[in-house]
Structure 1
Amino acid sequence: MSKILFVMTGVDHWTLADGTEHPTGFWAEEAVAPYEAFTAAGHEVVVATPGGVVPTVDAGSLAPEVNGGPEGADRIAAALAAMAEINTPVKLEDVDLADYAAVFYPGGHGPMEDLAVDAASGRLLMDTLESGKPLGVVCHGPAALLAAEKADGTNAFAGYEVAAFTNAEEIQAGLGERAKWLLETRLLEAGLHVKAGEPWAPNVVVDRNLVTGQNPASSAPLAVQLLKKLA
């Protein structure tokens, strides 16, 4: 059995352009779907957050309208409640990459607030990239890639093809025009090649050991690709 590290946001809000704190955290499906796939394949999941704080789920991600109806919402909530590892996270700052076979970052707007500027996360991402170990990042999780800056100021992921939550999706979700910055734009500015698919449809991009997904619907297919790399 291998260990897979889940690096999750430690915040419960995203600060908008006007200073308003939008309640958020991690997106339930983006943690649940990969968790279920990885544990079903016999892997152990360890959760890490900045400071070791227990991650907050975005309440919006538990709503029936984003889970295919009440049944889907109940299933996601039950699956999330069964993820005991979320309640006992390790400190991201103390993580030793040697202990893990792969690293995965779920999204939600939380990473836009903390992981996008987290030095420990940035170092871990660069180390994982260099190690060749599978690295999965989905939806707003790629905000964390922005912190992976090399000594010369360039981004370690510059030149990589990625999928990430698009500007079109952010605008359609109602927060695009209120955001301080947009993820797709910032990734492009950092030198990454964003391969945008249709809004809300699954879109997974594989480039070397990096596997990225565009949105919540991409979480399960991303997990499949990550497991292929682990095999």
Structure 2
Amino acid sequence: MAPKVLIVLTSADEFPGVGKTGWYLPEFAHPWEVLHSKTELTIASPKGGAAPLDQGSVEMFKSDPVSQKFLAEQKSLWENTVKLSDVNAGDFDAIFYVGGHGPLFDLTDNATSLSLIQAFAAAKKPVSAVCHGPTVFLKATTPDGKPLIAGASVTGFSNVEEEQVGLLSKVPFELETELQRVSDGGYVKAAEPWAEKVVVSKTNGIGGPLITGQNPNSGSGVAKAILEALGI
């Protein structure tokens, strides 16, 4: 039987002071391409139903054949998501969070999401995210209340990358700065902005796989690391 992977998308479609937001196309398209034939995928979001696609990502990746094929053929995946509160961690073997700016606004503090992450981690199941997705780990804790990523190596969208897209002064917090703080200095990034960077580490005190990717070009690598962690 194929392992079951829960993919979580944001439900946030508004970026206060900026405009529309959502999840980022290549960060779902490329992992899906890697995972869908080898695992059983369930797509969830905080509100359930249609999860908002960041239209800026459609434009930015219009020359990316994987993203465009996914956009044309797989719309039902994000138009009919399961509500996160209806999900049972025990039914899945790994969890993966797609990025985009949306998760900064509805998944950083989401109690249901945090409980799921903590349940996956406690069971030593892979917990993973890409780009802005690692925001979901900032407030996740171990059973004794310590940060789940304390002492771990971790990556996510860098401050330089945020500055290059013109949003460093607009985001509610700097993801790189916060990941660095919560991990006790464990944040790492690629030598150059936008280069692929995937980090495989261990959750604090639990030892389950923690898999993070830095930016939109790291989605495939995160998905491959998930498969490896699942023994595929």
Common fold: TM-score over 0.5: yes
Any gaps of 5 or more consecutive residues in structure 2?
203-208
- The 5 A counterparts of 1:1-231 are 1-15=2-16, 20-41=17-38, 43-63=39-59, 66-67=60-61, 70-72=62-64, 75-83=66-74, 84-149=76-141, 154-192=146-184, 193-197=186-190, 198-208=192-202, 209-231=209-231
Count of aligned positions: 221
C-alpha RMSD over aligned residues: 1.8
Q: Check the 8 A contact 2:100/2:131 in 1, yes or no.
A: yes
Q: Check the 8 A contact 1:188/1:194 in 2, yes or no.
A: yes
State how far apart, in whole Å, the 2-side matches of 1:121 and 1:50 are. Answer: 8
Query: How far did residue 22 of structure 1 move?
Result: 2.8
CA 1:53 to 1:8, structure 2 compared with 1: closer, same or farther past 3 Å? same
Q: Check the 8 A contact 1:118/1:147 in 2, yes or no.
A: no
- Please state whether the residue corresponding to 1:156 is helix, strand or coil: coil
State how far apart, in whole Å, the 2-side matches of 1:135 and 1:81 are. Answer: 29
State how far apart, in whole Å, the 1-side matches of 2:162 and 2:46 are. Answer: 25
Any gaps of 5 or more consecutive residues in structure 1?
none
State how far apart, in whole Å, the 1-side matches of 2:156 and 2:169 are. Answer: 18
Q: Check the 8 A contact 1:115/1:147 in 2, yes or no.
A: no
State how far apart, in whole Å, the 2-side matches of 1:6 and 1:147 are. Answer: 19
Whichever structure has more helix as a proportion of its residues is 1
Structure 2 residue identity aligned to 1:205 = V
Query: Aligned residues: percent identity?
Result: 36
Q: Check the 8 A contact 2:154/2:183 in 1, yes or no.
A: no
Q: Deviations over 1:177-216 (max 9, x none)?
A: 2223111111222235111212100000000301100000
Q: Residue 206 of structure 2 corresponds to which residue in structure 1? A: none
CA 1:173 to 1:52, structure 2 compared with 1: closer, same or farther past 3 Å? same
Q: Deviations over 1:26-75 (max 9, x none)?
A: 0000001111111122x121111112141111111111xx33xx542x65
Query: How far did residue 229 of structure 1 move?
Result: 1.1
